[in-house]
Structure 1
Amino acid sequence: MVTSNHIHLLLYDTGGHNAIPDSIKLVAGRTGQEYNLRKNRKGAFWQDRYHATAVESNRHLRQCITYIDMNMVRAGVVDHPEKWQWCGYNEIQNPRKKKGIIDFDRLTEVLGFDTYEQLKNAHLQWIDTAIQEENNDRERKWSQSIAVGSEAYIVKIKEALGFRARGRKIRQTGDCFELRETPVPYKSTDSYEADNMLPWDQQR
């Protein structure tokens, strides 16, 4: 999902080697350099470091996908995700023949479907339900949590983080658990490193 002032990326890492944080650092740096060159300016392009949330591969992942697709609906820009060109909704419902971004085999697998058609139909229903229920509230668990999932999953992530998880609380909302990030004052930075960085093969 690409908006006017930020992006959402849903990534799957096969494990290790800091692939996700290193990739984000590269993309963020190149984007800032290109923009400054184009506009003949200097200084920071991004307001802050990126935030990463580990998501358990089940219904929590489904909720995360729906939340991302509904971004511009929540913002009041469109009344349906299909009307926002730069989002995953349209690619799932109408896959590109060339230069596709989504790994449909992987997405189908981690969501527990047998076929892409099952995924496509379920995805359509998730969005329709969200629109009918007017579920347009911003959910802080996707922007302020280190991890979202079952209690066992959250405990596993907290243990893996070790001392870096000190002072960070496990919160429960219904049957959903979060490991909540500790609020920190804004500081401009060009490092684009996440304080909650953890080899992602330990997070699945």
Structure 2
Amino acid sequence: MNFAPSPIPHTEAPHDCPRCPRLVAFRDDLRIEHPDWWNGPVNAFGDPDAWLAIVGLAPGKHGANRTGRPFTGDQSGPLLYNTLAKFGLASGTYEARPDDSLRLDGAIIINAVKCLPPQNKPTPEEIRACRPFLAGQAAALPKARVYIALGQIAHQSAVKILGGKLPKCRFAHLAEHRVPDGRILIDSYHCSRYNQNTGRLTAEMFEAVFARALELRPA
């Protein structure tokens, strides 16, 4: 399988990142079980000159952990990438593989946690251990003035790396938070299969987040 290169390679975690013992053990087991999968920290994907940064939670087992590209290969991908295409932030065709023709224009995807956590639930210690990578990626994106956080964990990490204060920045779908340097964070429920299947997040709700982001796009 071909894997997508990072648009900001100097910010990425090493493929054998040792920071989180539980995640390392899980990764090692999957490398034995599925040796042709990516099975490592998942790189950012998108436009290095992006004005919009989308902060995800962590790779999905059969999605990004398998394919090596965020939101690629599981049910979360079609909703995200179709929405980006609808708002002119993606071109090409999403075919659920990292070597398809999909490209992002003005947007980039970065994760709060770069490695796959068991049951998709990173521990607080793992989230903290990975936060320097998220902070480094935000620092490498000086044109990114609008952020979208997909879910509460992504929200919390985004608030912290952007210089906000969590007590003043409470998570809610479509909530907006302006941090001291003027960057804006918009919250969204995560586009997970569970949220889609239960109706917690509809396509219309998700599109409203990106429509608002476009309204806030820097001139």
TM-score by length of 1: 0.29
Larger Rg: 1
Higher percent of residues as helix: 1
Higher percent of residues as strand: 2
**Which one has more relative contact order, counting CA pairs under 8 Å at least 6 apart?**
1
